[in-house]
Chain A
């Protein structure tokens, strides 16, 4: 091959690889940026099962090896609040006492279940002891988290006594947790749904007045 051609060929390869690297880095940055700016709050993700859908019955075991089922209609007529937490999540620690107090308030119609994932059983045992939640079932199951598309913690899922998914979302405060119960009582999945509903009602009444 001619000398100039060979050099230009080599340079082109270097440029092609550099450009590919650049494209990959750019795509990665967009992805990371997207994760960072994701809205915080009682966020209801659109992924995972939809509110109102029937949940699947999942036979599971808690840390003490007691069998229990998550999902499906409850024999005792209680709703189930599943709170996904993890020893590595700082917000979870502050939310656990809140969840307990809420659960004891609502104990007549709701049971509280903690869920987490990871292989280190002794870490979970220590975590449960540290938080003082030995009285509540604590499930370590990757399948459970994946079934409800849990991607960020602390995440709560509220399953009605009839087995339908009542509400779910990323929870950070007592208000967020209570909003899940509120959503079950009112039958409105989110504030956005409520606003949409109100807006259409308003628009209808305006139209009526105009005509």
Chain B
């Protein structure tokens, strides 16, 4: 049994994450298509379709999280999507194609390229864990005004920490390209 506030905060966080990611991808479909083809996982004609399909799925998931309809399906689908990303990144890391762009950033850290790294896989696994947490049965309790204030504060902190983490992962990759030579 976990407190409903915790589930609420996670749901809000995922809503922001998925809607933000979808908006970022839809605003430059051509770029995202190029990113996908760089992953070299699918026959090229499928990349175009997928470049449109992925953001639409992300948008649906975002709406699912914020509306609270079908919470189990939303959580499981989100975990599956995040696991697919982690797998795609992992396959290319093993192939040694670490230089390709991740295509996973959004917000302030997205205007420059984000190379692949195992930190990104770790981040996705952490997110999958969070999505899984919402499947734990929730204690019955009415959420008051104070709860929403706390949820928003948590959301704000989470967004900042997420963006900070993304930036640090990117910095580390940039520093590594210097050292390697």
Contacts and interface: CB of A to CB of B under 8 A. Distances in A.
Given A27-B168, A28-B108, A142-B34, A47 B99 contact: yes
Interface stretch (B13-21, B79-87, B124-132, B154-162): B154-162
A188 to B, nearest CB: 14
A146 B101 CA distance: 8
A46 B34 contact: no
Nearest to B166: A27
Given A17-B157, A20-B157, A28-B167, 9 more contacts: A20-B161, A21-B160, A27-B164, A27-B167, A27-B171, A30-B167, A34-B171, A34-B175, A143-B37
12 contacts: A17-B156, A17-B160, A20-B160, A23-B161, A24-B161, A24-B164, A31-B109, A31-B167, A31-B171, A35-B174, A44-B181, A149-B113
Interface of B: 30-31, 34-35, 37-38, 99-101, 108-109, 112-113, 115, 150, 153, 156-157, 160-161, 163-164, 167-168, 170-171, 174-175, 177, 180-181
Contacts of B180: 46
Given A31-B167, A31-B171, A24 B160 contact: yes
A48 B108 contact: no
B99 A24 contact: no
A4 interface: no
Contacts of A143: 34, 37
B166 to A, nearest CB: 9
Interface string A1-20: 00000000000010011001
B38 A147 contact: yes
Contacts of A13: 150, 153
Contacts of A151: 112-113
Contacts of B163: 24
A45 interface: yes
A192 interface: yes
Given A17-B153, A142-B30, A143-B37, A192 B181 contact: yes
Nearest to A44: B181
B11 to A, nearest CB: 20
B177 A47 contact: yes
Interface residues of A, number: 26
B119 to A, nearest CB: 13
B167 A46 contact: no
A24 B112 CA distance: 16
B38 A146 contact: yes
Nearest to B28: A142
A21 B108 CA distance: 13
Contacts of A45: 177
A77 B160 CA distance: 54
Residue of B109, B150, B177 contacting most chain A CB atoms (<10 Å)? B177
Nearest to B99: A47
Contacts of A192: 181
Contacts of B164: 20, 23-24, 26-27
Contacts of A47: 99, 115, 177
Nearest to A24: B164
Contacts of A30: 167-168, 171
Contacts of B100: 146
Contacts of B168: 27, 30
B167 A24 contact: yes
Interface in A44-86: 44-48
A75 B8 CA distance: 62
A87 B99 CA distance: 26
A61 B157 CA distance: 47
B60 to A, nearest CB: 27
